[in-house]
Amino acid sequence: LNVYNEFPLDHVLIANETKKDKWLQKILSYMQHGWPDKLERSLLNVYAQHQDLEFVDGCLLYQDRVVVPYSLQKQILKLLHRNHSGITKIKQLARRTVYWFGMNCDIESFVKSCHVCCQMNVVPKQVPHSPWIPTTKPFARIHADFSPGAPSSTPLS
């Protein structure tokens, strides 16, 4: 499983936790023995994606990404978040390596609840736009743009 090279996952641990996860075991059972005509509500999204699922070395994979058992999701979130790189970058890393149903929402909640990330992402208050007072005569107000490093102008001849 090549996803383990990019992200430090112990596939033996994931395989063992997959065996203990009743929900994942139900999915594996359906993959091996066929999907029923009527599914419980929690499995409807899984069935919609079931053709992208495979079982390799005791681990369930979705589009070549490890499906993380519930018991390991918090640990994986901490690993993904260790650099406090923000929601977007964490999602990008996660989407290359791991998967679980509801992962995007879990990442957002985890990062939004991080004290360090909240301090780093303080958005400055926006100053309300204050329009200029209209003038009545031409050249009553002159504006100048300052651009360091701009070429100097030469006087008109």
Q: What is the pLDDT of residues 97-140, one digit of tens each?
A: 899 989 999 999 999 898 888 877 755 566 677 777 888 888 88
Using alpha carbons, select from 131, 84, 123 the residue that is nearest to residue 107.
Answer: 84
Summary mean pLDDT of the chain: 83
Distance CA(108)–CA(65), nearest Å, equals 20
What is the predicted pLDDT for the residue at 125? 62
What is the predicted pLDDT for the residue at 141? 80
3-120 carries CATH number 3.40.50.720 = no
What are the pLDDT digits (tens) for 145-155?
A: 666 666 666 55
What is the predicted pLDDT for the residue at 28? 94
Distance CA(23)–CA(42), nearest Å, equals 9
Q: Is the pTM of this model over 0.85?
A: no
What is the predicted pLDDT for the residue at 52? 93
Distance CA(128)–CA(98), nearest Å, equals 43
